Amino acid sequence: MIRLLLADDQALVRGALAALLDLEPDLEVVAQVGRGDEVVTAARESAADVCLLDIEMPGLSGIDAAAAVRRELPGVRSLIVTTFGRPGYVRRALDAGAAGFVVKDTPARQLADAVRRVHAGLRVIDPHLAAESLIDGPSPLTERERELLTHALDGAPVATIAARVHLSEGTVRNHLSAAIGKTGASTRSEAARIAQDRGWL
């Protein structure tokens, strides 16, 4: 019997996944959480074997949660189950110690298999995403560029961004100009969107 923990911020999806996985005779959902920062304690208390983690969650992202599980509970394996097939996410998830990466539009029956393989010590990675991840390569952005792009995501003017990060307006424009070049965009908003699509933020 494989003991599972589910982490997803959407209660309906969480409950539905639990119903789906509980149908399998060798799987048992022993814990459900809606926040990333509750994963480790819930996994410890429920003695879970495998954690299914969404990425977009309040408190702590699924990737960071996987890293925390890796650090705090070395025997427990993490499987990322996410909506967005951002190439950059795959690499970051694996670096964080996740054992698998599956997108939410894979057929439902394959999920149980993925769980079993992860539990058996294998790695499960969506093949399509693995290819994209290799093509794109790692993020070319520096830490500052990444940070400034996240602030540019909502379309704020440069002056606002500069105030938020306590930097000179000129410096902000320089960093963003570099980011625009690296993403192949022509405005900072476009650059921010591209970087987000690739999982660089």
- SS3 label, residue 119: helix
Instruction: Evaluate whether 80 touches 100 at the Cβ level (below 8 Å).
Output: yes
Kindly determine how many residues on this chain lie close enough to bind a copy of itself according to the rule CB under 8 A.
Answer: 38
Q: Count the alpha carbons within 13 Å of 201 in the hemisphere toward its beta carbon.
A: 18
Q: Does 90 bind DNA (CB under 7 A)?
A: no
Q: Which residues inside 123-182 make contact with DNA, applying CB under 7 A?
A: 142-145, 157-159, 167-168, 170-171, 173-177, 180-181
Find the binding residues for a copy of itself in span 62-121 (CB under 8 A).
81, 83, 102, 104-109, 111
19 contacts which partner out of a copy of itself, DNA, none, CB within 5 to 8 A by kind?
Answer: a copy of itself
For residue 86, the one-letter residue type is R
Q: Which of 54, 98, 147 is nearest to 90 (CA)?
A: 98
Q: Which does 142 bind (CB under 5 to 8 A by kind): DNA, a copy of itself, none?
A: DNA
Closest CA to 68 of 101, 46, 42, 89: 42
Describe the crossing of helices 169-183 and 143-152 by its angle, rounded to 10 degrees: 100
Minimal distance, residue 75 CB to a copy of itself, in Å:
26
The entry of DNA, a copy of itself, none near residue 184 (CB within 5 to 8 angstroms by kind) is none
- 78 near 53, Cβ under 8 Å? yes
Stretch that binds a copy of itself, among 10-18, 62-70, 123-131, 139-147 (CB under 8 A): 10-18
Enter the DSSP assignment of 152: H
Residues 151-170 touching a copy of itself, rule: CB under 8 A, are 153-157
Among 2, 4, 7, 14, binds a copy of itself (CB under 8 A): 14
Largest separation between any pair of C-alpha atoms in the chain: 61
Q: Where are the beta strands (DSSP E) in 8-115?
A: 27-33, 50-53, 77-82, 100-103
- Interface residues with DNA (CB under 7 A) are 142-145, 157-159, 167-168, 170-171, 173-177, 180-181, 186-189
- Interface residues with a copy of itself (CB under 8 A) are 9-20, 23, 34, 81, 83, 102, 104-109, 111, 153-157, 185-193
